[in-house]
Structure 1
Amino acid sequence: MFGSHFFYRRHRQGFTLIELVTTILLIGILAVVALPRLLGKSDYSDHGLRSELISRLRQAQLMALNNTDQCVRIQVLSGSGYRQQRFDGRSGALCSGTEQWSSDWQSLQGDATLTLVAGGSDSFNLDFDALGRLSGNGCNGPCLQTGALQIGISREGYIYAL
């Protein structure tokens, strides 16, 4: 009799493994279901686009630094998305000459949009000079906007999320 009472008290001092696993599963399911509803589809699209574009801009910048005899451009077209291009020359600060290479169009997912902060245009070119700086569009600070998120580019060429 004493042994069964001792077992009962010891058992009631904590949770069973089944109770813990069930609770963790319910919290996980609620997080998966509730998180997209709280953030919304466009927030995911905007965050994804900003991260992807920062990566693509830095790649284009490195390509411009490594190939000083060529000009590298990120071309953005409303409705088409964006792509990276490489030209065999430049006219002043802007890319010119024959297009040597271009990537496939990267479409904007969901309802994401991409605009140039200065002027609000959704069709524009971002040309990188031989020092990895943007040429001809006057970006210094907030430069690109996707939804409520921005990408900043300094005069010296530093690309960062805002």
Structure 2
Amino acid sequence: MRLNKLYKYSVGFSLIELVTTILIVGIIAVFVIPKLLPESSYSAYTLRNEFISELRQVQIKALNNSDRCYRISVSSDGYQLTTYSHNINNAFAGCINAQLIRTDTKQDFSGGAIIELASNGSTSFSMDFDNLGRSTLGCNGTCFVVKADETLGIAMESEGYVHAL
């Protein structure tokens, strides 16, 4: 009789066992599973959004500082912003014959993602912005392609509006 009574109360899991199991599964989900997935699964989206933000920020700087010229230089492994003095008498001369003021830290690409020009597929290029926020690339529509696991486009309209495709 005593054995039957003891068996009656030992069926199932205790609350402590259930909470401990949920915590272990949660830790594995947060720390281990992302390391097993490929790094580049979201890198194209991340780089596209980051580059659009950078382009918009540079445009705002160019609009607010008529005595400066801004250049974004893109290479196969990252991009970098450089600031030059600007000749306000020639509104769209770009950064030609301008004095270097500042060079920001290079932003490296990660996850195997790259940015290339849509027109010719070049991964190394530079573009300047004038005091109206226009780019010297002069493209209208898809200007850049971000490639990783997926291929995503970035459009720049002739008026300077930058957006994702």
Overall identity of the aligned pairs, in %: 35
CA deviation profile, 1:115-159 (whole Å, cap 9, x unmatched): 111111101112212121222341423534232233222222222
**Deviations for 1:24-43, whole angstroms, at most 9, x for unmatched residues?**
642552465445545x2123
1:67 counterpart = 2:65: yes
Unaligned runs of 5+ in 2: none
Q: Which moved more, 1:115-124 or 1:129-138?
A: 129-138
Question: Which whole-Å CA distance do the structure 2 matches of 1:121 and 1:86 have between them?
Answer: 23
The farther-off stretch of 48-57 and 121-130 is: 48-57
Answer yes or no: is the 8 Å Cα contact 2:142–2:153 preserved in 1.
Answer: no
CA distance in 2, matches of 1:25, 1:142: 47
TM-score (norm 2): 0.71
Normalised to the residue count of structure 1, the TM-score between the two structures is 0.72
Distance 2:155 2:112 in 1: 22
Measure, in 2, the Cα distance between the counterparts of 1:71 and 1:83.
14
Unpaired segments ≥5 residues, structure 1: none
Q: Residue 85 of structure 1 is aligned with which of 63, 82, 88?
A: 82
Aligned Cα root-mean-square deviation (Å): 3.2
Distance 1:150 1:17 in 2: 51
CA contact (8 A) 1:117 1:143 kept: yes
Runs of 4+ more than 6 Å apart: none
Q: Name the aligned partner's letter for residue 72 of structure 2.
A: I
- Count of equivalent residues: 155
